[in-house]
């Protein structure tokens, strides 16, 4: 997960000494197991699956993403601390799996259509054959929330057919099904190897006690609805507060589901609904709201405050201290504002314009909240952990981001590149994602917007300019490199048999299972 290491195998078809066709394929080596009491193991080490559900689309682009966008999106999730990705509810594009392989993101690969007719079995088989050599794929899903079928004999028989098909095509992986029923064992759950829970997390413990030999994973968890940078309920513009306050009746808030999964080793992990907002499903609103509010990031990949809640408890490598809301209020002097802090520190101190508002302990897997009477100035938090302190401030002057700005920004590009999309993360925006050449523009939403560039075939200098009425223009240069620069293959003398130290680096500290693999004929090589 932290240092993904890939190899490359070349397969050739020869006839009378001539190569008719050849394919060069990257692959990785890892060992996975599932335990009903202890969860998921990667290379013999217990790993809690810190997952997100993701649709394919991105602001400004729809679902036809350039390869680079797959890496951008996976990196954003990795920075939050996520280590797992559920393709909900679709077979993924190959480029997504390539990104997950190379960046160290585990994948639930999902078949959307629970159906065992000839055509659907054919589609299912092609998906498995196409994707089974990707090391990022750790689990197959045969379906999602198929109504009453999931709890009756028809669903059970279809599940058996799909599971048996998988055993023939890929005996190395387990199978799950994303069920939106609580402590129910009828139908698909009778035969599925890994029990998937969509919500209903409060029933997970009772189910585990009733079925102690069946591993459990939260295939869909959470579903807090929020709008980045908004701090009130707005039914006119269809916005929700950017805090862990609101969830639909069928779901739960982040601080309700995550402690259950975090504190119970039998829970292999959970997948947030969702990692990013997406077009459609504008819960709880309707038109003119045209995008979802479920994401911990908006459609551009800009974090909401909930992003930092998960980062606090998922990413143990960096200090996290996030303070909300912004401190740019008008006509609110003396208004008692609720301040939220997400942090992985031991305790947090809060000050307003130098006045000490107290120090409070940070309760694990929860948020920290203060009531603060508003006055203009600097709201400052300090986190303390193991004798160290880290600081965050929310200010209304001094060159910081203006999180209430809504200026319209115009973009211009020169050189071997073009703009292919714009967005701002506003789930109610009807501004065009695509514009005419040299007329690209987008309004800021809560201080941010996004413009996506695609490089041309020729390397060179790209000029980029952004301007907005009443603001100073800004510009930068991007220097692109020839494609050959990114594909430098190792020479023959750089390729050598891997020694034991290389094996430890590749596989992790515990390599007790390697002799068995070597006895079965597997060779290990280090490509330098």
Position with higher pLDDT, 279 vs 503: 279
Distance separating alpha carbons of residues 311 and 286, to the nearest angstrom:
31
User: How many CB atoms are located within 10 Å of the residue 92 CB?
Assistant: 26
Q: Estimate to the nearest angstrom the gap between the alpha carbon of 31 and the chain centroid.
A: 23
pLDDT at 508: 40
User: What residues are paired with 273 via a beta bridge?
Assistant: 222
pLDDT at 484: 67
Written as six digits, the tokens of 159 are 């599940």
Per-residue DSSP letters for 499-526? -HHHHHHHH-S--TTHHHHHHTT---EE
Answer yes or no: are the C-beta atoms of 361 and 384 closer than 8 Å. no
Q: What's the predicted TM-score (pTM) here?
A: 0.88
Average pLDDT over residues 370-399: 83
**Sequence-separated (6 or more) residues with CB below 8 Å from residue 283:** 225, 248, 292, 293, 294
Average pLDDT over residues 103-109: 97
User: How many CB atoms are located within 10 Å of the residue 38 CB?
Assistant: 13
User: What residues are paired with 36 via a beta bridge?
Assistant: none
Confidence band for 43, pLDDT divided at 50, 70 and 90: very high
Distance separating alpha carbons of residues 417 and 464, to the nearest angstrom:
10
Confidence band for 515, pLDDT divided at 50, 70 and 90: low
pLDDT at 503: 41
pLDDT at 509: 39
Q: Encode pLDDT of 45-88 as tens digits.
A: 999 999 999 999 999 999 999 999 999 999 999 999 999 999 99
**Sequence-separated (6 or more) residues with CB below 8 Å from residue 494:** 527, 528
Nearest residue to 344 via CA among 101, 159, 80: 80
Distance separating alpha carbons of residues 326 and 141, to the nearest angstrom:
41
User: For the chain, what's the residue count?
Assistant: 528
Answer yes or no: are the C-beta atoms of 417 and 455 closer than 8 Å. yes
**Sequence-separated (6 or more) residues with CB below 8 Å from residue 200:** 180, 181, 182
Nearest residue to 421 via CA among 61, 71, 62, 73: 61
**Sequence-separated (6 or more) residues with CB below 8 Å from residue 236:** none
Q: Encode pLDDT of 118-131 as tens digits.
A: 999 999 999 999 99
Average pLDDT over residues 382-410: 80
pLDDT at 397: 52
Answer yes or no: are the C-beta atoms of 40 and 32 closer than 8 Å. yes
Q: Is 450 left (phi over 0), alpha (psi -120 to 50) or beta?
A: beta
Q: Encode pLDDT of 444-474 as tens digits.
A: 999 999 999 998 888 899 999 999 998 889 9
Helix, strand or coil, per DSSP, at residue 256? helix
Helix, strand or coil, per DSSP, at residue 499? coil
pLDDT at 174: 96
pLDDT at 387: 81
Distance separating alpha carbons of residues 39 and 264, to the nearest angstrom:
9
Q: Encode pLDDT of 118-168 as tens digits.
A: 999 999 999 999 999 999 999 999 999 999 999 999 999 999 999 999 999
Q: Is the confidence at residue 502, as pLDDT, over 50? A: no
The whole-chain average pLDDT of the chain stands at 90
pLDDT at 506: 40
pLDDT at 112: 85
The H or E element containing residue 158 is: helix 153-169
Position with higher pLDDT, 528 vs 404: 404
């Amino acid at each position: 997960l932290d240092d993904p290491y890939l190899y490359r195998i070349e397969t050739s078809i020869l006839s009378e000494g001539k190569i008719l066709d050849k394919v060069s394929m990257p692959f990785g080596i890892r060992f996975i197991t599932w335990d009903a009491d202890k969860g998921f193991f990667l290379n013999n080490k217990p790993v809690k699956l810190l997952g997100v559900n993701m649709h394919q689309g991105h602001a400004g682009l729809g679902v036809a993403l350039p390869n680079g966008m797959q890496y951008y999106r996976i990196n954003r999730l990795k920075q939050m601390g996520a280590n797992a990705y559920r393709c909900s509810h679709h077979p993924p594009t190959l480029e997504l799996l390539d990104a997950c392989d190379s960046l160290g993101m585990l994948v639930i690969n999902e078949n959307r259509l629970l159906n065992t007719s000839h055509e659907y079995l054919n589609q299912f088989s092609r998906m498995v054959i196409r994707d089974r050599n990707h090391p990022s794929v750790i689990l197959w899903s045969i379906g999602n929330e198929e109504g009453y079928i999931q709890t009756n004999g028809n669903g059970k028989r279809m599940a058996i057919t799909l599971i048996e098909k998988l055993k023939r095509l890929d005996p190395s992986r387990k199978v799950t099904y994303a069920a939106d029923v609580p402590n129910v064992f009828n139908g698909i759950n009778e035969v599925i190897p890994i029990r998937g829970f969509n919500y209903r997390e409060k029933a997970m413990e009772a189910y585990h006690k009733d079925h102690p030999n069946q591993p459990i994973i939260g295939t869909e968890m959470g579903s807090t609805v929020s709008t980045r940078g908004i701090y009130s309920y707005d039914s006119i513009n269809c916005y929700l507060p950017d805090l862990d306050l609101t969830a639909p009746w069928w779901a739960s808030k982040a601080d309700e589901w995550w402690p259950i999964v975090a504190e119970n080793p039998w829970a292999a992990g959970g997948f947030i609904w969702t990692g990013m907002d997406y077009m459609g499903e504008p819960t709880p609103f309707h038109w003119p709201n045209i995008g979802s509010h479920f994401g911990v990031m908006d459609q551009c990949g800009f974090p909401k405050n909930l992003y930092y809640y998960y980062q606090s408890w998922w990413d143990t490598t960096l200090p996290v201290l996030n303070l909300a809301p912004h401190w740019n209020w008008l006509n609110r002097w003396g208004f008692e504002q609720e301040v939220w802090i997400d942090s992985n520190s031991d305790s947090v101190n809060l000050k307003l314009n130098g006045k000490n508002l107290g120090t409070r302990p940070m309760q694990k897997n929860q948020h920290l909240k203060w009531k603060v009477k508003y006055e203009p100035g600097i709201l400052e938090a300090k986190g303390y952990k193991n004798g160290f302190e880290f600081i965050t401030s929310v200010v209304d002057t001094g060159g910081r981001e203006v999180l209430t700005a809504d200026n319209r920004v115009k973009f211009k590009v020169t050189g071997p590149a073009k703009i292919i999309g714009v967005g701002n993360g506003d789930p109610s925006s009807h501004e065009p994602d695509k514009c005419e050449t040299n007329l690209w523009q987008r309004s800021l939403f809560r201080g941010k917007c996004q413009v996506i560039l695609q490089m041309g075939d020729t390397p060179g200098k790209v000029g980029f300019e952004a301007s907005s009425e009443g603001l100073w223009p800004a510009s930068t240069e991007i220097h692109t490199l020839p494609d050959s620069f990114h594909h430098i293959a190792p020479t023959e003398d750089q390729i050598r048999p891997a020694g034991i130290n290389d094996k430890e680096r590749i596989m992790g500290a515990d390599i007790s299972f390697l002799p068995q693999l070597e006895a079965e004929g597997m060779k290990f090589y280090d490509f330098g």
